[in-house]
């Protein structure tokens, strides 16, 4: 199915599972898919920043994408196609769509600084991949260093009918969500889907500001799906209570530089993947850090029994 502006729920950012010797672990891809579906995923995103996409060969990227598309069945798969050059972006975008992807995600290169540069870049990217491919704008200034104002995002949306979603991970960013939804209300921007990232660190209030769901890779996707569901149902206190129980682990996982290592370690302990290996270069958790994560999991288990599976 093609991605459109009605997309909502949970689109986990899938890590790329590797064997200890650095090969793609296809069996773990299948396990990931099964666990994400059980957790309530309504779609999935592959080859994101936390998917170690720059460490993959082009053929590996397509191999991984194809396996996820097959495993997710009728649910949408978004493929990160960000690349230094537009030719590489076009190749992966067209190849992924030919194999059944729902759409692609495009992040701005870190060199962009002005509003005109950002708007111009997305114009060139759409020209490169084709106006027939639905795409997601990734707004992640903490890592990408590109500051996109709400007005710039509105301009990109209005200029390109194929832009159907914003992956919102500005920080702080709650007011940005409110401003964008305000643009929709006053008619100056057509409606789009807004899914949020940042490891889920602000998901509780992002939902209340108008987000449609989450697109992130926190190692308890069940919690993300439940917070989205409870928030949409107006069960505010239940959503916050569940979120608060996970907040210490969310915070620990959000550490810059070491976050992926933490996430993969927890996913390994939970049986989502067979190994927490990263393809080199990559950080390895120290024994002390692993013990800290184990402690957080034990404390979480007292409030969310799903953490017991990590014991």
Using the predicted structure, report yes or no on whether residue 62 has a pLDDT greater than 70.
yes
pLDDT score of 201 more than 50: yes
pLDDT tens digits, 270-311: 999 999 999 998 888 999 999 999 999 999 999 999 998 654
CA–CA distance, 186 with 129 (Å, rounded to integer):
31
Q: Sign of torsion, CA 281 286 287 291?
A: negative
Cβ-Cβ contacts under 8 Å for 61 (sequence gap 6 or more):
47, 53, 92
pLDDT at 310: 59
The rounded distance, in Å, linking the Cα atoms of 150 and 193 is: 14
CA distance 155 to 159: 6
The token pair at 66 is 């194809």
Distance CA 134, CA 7 (A): 12
Q: What pLDDT sits at residue 311?
A: 46
Least confident range of 49-53, 151-155, 170-174, 288-292: 49-53
Angle made by CA atoms 36, 42, 48, in degrees to the nearest 5: 70
**pLDDT for residue 33:** 98
Q: Is 302 exposed, middle or buried (0-12, 13-18, 19+ CB in 10 A)?
A: exposed
Taking the C-alpha atoms of residue 169 and residue 190, their distance in angstroms, rounded to an integer, is 20
Task: Calculate mean pLDDT across residues 182-190.
Answer: 98
* Degrees, nearest 5: CA angle 38-40-41: 105
Host H or E run for residue 79: strand 77-80
CA 93 to chain centre: 17
């Amino acid at each position: 199915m093609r991605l459109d502006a009605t997309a909502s729920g949970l689109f986990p950012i899938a890590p790329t599972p590797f064997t200890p010797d650095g090969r793609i672990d296809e069996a773990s891809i299948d396990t990931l898919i099964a666990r994400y579906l059980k957790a309530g995923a309504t779609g999935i995103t592959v080859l994101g920043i936390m998917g170690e996409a720059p460490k993959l060969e082009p053929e590996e990227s397509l191999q991984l994408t194809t396996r996820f598309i097959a495993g997710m069945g009728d649910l949408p798969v978004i493929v990160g196609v960000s690349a230094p050059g537009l030719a590489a972006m076009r190749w992966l975008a067209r190849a992924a769509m030919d194999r059944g992807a729902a759409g692609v995600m495009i992040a701005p290169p870190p060199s962009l600084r002005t509003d005109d540069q950002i708007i111009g870049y997305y114009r060139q990217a759409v020209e490169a991949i084709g106006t027939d491919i639905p795409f997601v704008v990734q707004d992640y200034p903490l890592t990408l260093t590109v500051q996109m104002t709400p007005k710039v995002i509105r301009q990109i949306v209005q200029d390109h009918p194929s832009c159907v979603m914003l992956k919102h991970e500005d920080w702080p960013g709650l007011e940005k969500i409110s401003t964008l939804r305000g643009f929709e209300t006053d008619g100056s921007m057509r409606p789009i889907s807004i899914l949020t990232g940042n490891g889920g660190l602000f998901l509780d209030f992002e939902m209340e500001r108008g987000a449609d769901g989450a697109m992130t890779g926190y190692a308890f996707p069940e919690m993300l799906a439940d917070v989205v569901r409870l928030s949409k149902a107006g069960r505010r206190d239940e959503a916050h209570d569940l979120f608060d129980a996970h907040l210490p682990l969310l915070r620990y996982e959000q550490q810059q530089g070491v976050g992926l290592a933490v996430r993969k370690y927890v996913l390994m302990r939970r049986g989502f993947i067979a190994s927490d290996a990263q393809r080199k270069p990559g950080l390895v958790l120290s024994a002390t850090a692993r013990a800290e994560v184990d402690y957080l999991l034990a404390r979480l288990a007292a409030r969310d029994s799903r953490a017991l599976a990590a014991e």
